[in-house]
Chains A and B, each alone.
Chain A
């Protein structure tokens, strides 16, 4: 059945179409030069229906001048091709308010004259401005996106999960040193570039994103064409179907190689710095002139043995140093402030736990362009260990030097004494050989014997001294003073009987010392016999021997007599020297006190003398347990 539309019907249909869609129409009667422009279209352009006359000229005037030639040309083509070439153009119109709108304009000649000339052409105009703007926006966004990726130097990848294809942008290849598409665009091929150490966790991360929707944003290594690995940061997002099944995953990679390598290097440097500081016991500090605050690194806190909550200030940190050092510290600081340079001091401190430490404090002044101080920045260095070693080294050197001096002196003195005896023997022998007088010869013979026995005695003494020098301090034992005292009196009994004397003792305060028994016996014998030998000719000898402990770790034994004494100004330096005698006493050998001093020194003790001539002497033995 055929349905016929009346004119009225058609108008109604058209009305509906034009009301409900954006389409509007025009009807150009070419010979009459009228062109009906639907009120709807006029409204789109911002005009009332009556405002515009329905003429072809009106229509043309509404078209954007730049698009008019193209529009007319297209209509001309349509007509000259007798309707074969369709008229369909995107044309811009100008609204009454001068705004430009985009329109799809299409039309067709519906009536032809007998000479093939067009009589009537009708067409539609569809406002596609919104669509066009959206497209432009999309293009703009795309451009922006490209610029953005260009700016961050990102490579783009697009992975079709269903077929395994992986599209990579040119930049993606460039980052890895390849020409575009040099690597087949397949996931499996690209995956081969991932560093073996990173591969398994990257796969895991991808799976977590695809299955569990965890964000995919990771830094890993990809193999560069030159064989080295480059750090890249990659982010991606899956596109899923309506059942949340991932179809594609699109992402980017950024070359973060330098940043990552710097980060790793920084981490390494930080570690090294921290460890070095820990091992070197060295930490950083700062003083801010503006806020008047002090910053201490952890290492500095450790040096001071304060807890992390300790807040250093100028007032509380000065208290770690000794009071006597304040002027020195102040002076150095002032110098630094005045010269705006640096300062470096080495001072002892007492930590929060009252441990003594030596620190080297160094600081450099940092000033602004105008030369005003901003910061004092420097280091604290715990040099206790160095100081102790230095001290130890110093005392070792001193001990060695003293020992060496003693040995040298000993060698010279021994050679002196031996030489004088051997020299005499030599001369006496040659005298004796040529001596005709028997009596004289006999006298010389006696002298030879005498000298020989002196030489022998000298050698005995030397052996004794050498034994002392070779003594090992490890062999010290606790020795009772009273025991050695009694032994000495016993062995000196004949001398004591010869001259009346009073020898008293008091060992109650310090009854024993850490010493060598044999040496202690010998010291008592030597010092008591010395006192007897140098008693004052006008009075009987009184000798008092007393031990005491004036402080912890220190013991004294004092031998006080009323003998002839000694002029210390004259002989002080030589009292304890070998073969030094001062009184012309025929019994003096000059060995006794030398031996005593050596025995004491071998055991880390010492002896000194106080004396007033004609009044008496005090020999004081000092033993330090350290």
Chain B
């Protein structure tokens, strides 16, 4: 096994700028091997529903709440259904610029969600998230 145990990360967000910057930081800091970027939740969900190899299964999902067509909440509802079939259980972070107390409360009430991160996401913030997962797994 590689010493870097985080192999795959999913970024799900409709904000192109955020996706670009986050991907750049993760690559630059070498936080994981593979980064998959989804501009809408439905496509990401479709991908997860397929029979994925361990390698392609995400270790971590950074999920936005406010998205058209399918928002973060709707994604989580669907994800719950396929979760038992997953070979690798990913850690999910909600990443959003919403500071609505109701959103924060709702996020905390969902057991699949590890934490709630308020944008903007800095390199330091990303490092912290990825390291906490590494620590948890080792």
Contacts and interface: CB of A to CB of B under 8 A. Distances in A.
| A-side interface mostly | helix
A582 B120 contact: no
B99 A420 contact: no
B24 to A, nearest CB: 6
A534 B110 CA distance: 34
Contacts, number: 56
Given A419-B119, A427-B122, A582 B99 contact: no
Interface in B89-138: 96-100, 119-122
A582 B69 contact: yes
B21 A582 contact: no
Contacts of A431: 21, 24
A447 interface: yes
Contact of B66 (A416, A584, A585): A416
B98 A412 contact: yes
Nearest to A454: B17
Nearest to A570: B74
Contacts of B100: 412, 416
A625 interface: no
Contacts of B18: 420, 423-424
Contacts of B20: 447
A420 B68 contact: no
A412 B66 CA distance: 13
Contact of A588 (B15, B66, B68): B68
Contacts of B17: 424, 427-428, 447, 450-451
Given A412-B99, A424-B17, A428-B21, A581 B68 contact: yes
Interface in A416-475: 416-417, 419-420, 422-424, 426-428, 431, 447, 450-451
A447 B18 CA distance: 11
A159 interface: no
Given A428-B21, A431-B21, A420 B97 contact: yes
B67 to A, nearest CB: 8
Nearest to A426: B120
Contacts of A412: 98-100
Contacts of A582: 68-69
Interface string A345-376: 00000000000000000000000000000000
Interface in A565-614: 570, 579, 581-585, 588
A415 interface: yes
Contacts of B120: 419, 422-424, 426-427
Nearest to A420: B97
B15 A584 contact: no
A412 to B, nearest CB: 5
A366 B96 CA distance: 70
A584 to B, nearest CB: 5
Nearest to A447: B17
A216 B127 CA distance: 114
B59 interface: no
Interface in A374-415: 412, 415
Contacts of A450: 17
Q: Classify chain B's interface size.
A: 20 to 34
Contacts of B68: 581-585, 588
A584 B21 CA distance: 22
A424 B40 contact: no
A616 to B, nearest CB: 19
A221 B69 CA distance: 95
Interface string A460-502: 0000000000000000000000000000000000000000000
Interface string A263-287: 0000000000000000000000000
A133 B59 CA distance: 138
Contacts of A581: 68
Contact of B21 (A427, A570, A579, A583): A427
Interface string B60-98: 000000101100001000000000000000000000111
A110 B127 CA distance: 166
A416 to B, nearest CB: 5
Interface string B1-43: 0000000000000110110110010000000000000001000
A584 B98 contact: no
B45 to A, nearest CB: 14
Contacts of B119: 419-420, 423
Contacts of B21: 424, 427-428, 431
A588 B15 CA distance: 14
Nearest to A586: B68
A416 B96 CA distance: 8
Nearest to A418: B97
Contacts of B98: 412, 416
Interface string A66-110: 000000000000000000000000000000000000000000000
A36 B96 CA distance: 152
Contacts of A417: 97
A416 B40 CA distance: 19
A423 B97 contact: yes
A621 to B, nearest CB: 25
A581 B70 CA distance: 10
B66 to A, nearest CB: 7
Given A420-B97, A585-B68, 9 more contacts: A412-B99, A416-B96, A420-B119, A423-B120, A424-B17, A427-B17, A427-B21, A428-B21, A584-B40
Interface of B: 14-15, 17-18, 20-21, 24, 40, 66, 68-69, 74, 96-100, 119-122
29 contacts: A412-B98, A412-B99, A415-B99, A416-B66, A416-B96, A416-B98, A419-B99, A419-B119, A419-B120, A420-B15, A420-B97, A423-B97, A424-B15, A424-B17, A424-B18, A424-B120, A427-B21, A428-B17, A428-B21, A431-B21, A447-B20, A450-B17, A570-B74, A579-B66, A581-B68, A582-B69, A583-B68, A583-B69, A584-B40
Nearest 9 CB-CB pairs, A to B? Answer: A423-B120, A581-B68, A420-B97, A424-B17, A419-B97, A427-B21, A584-B68, A584-B69, A412-B100
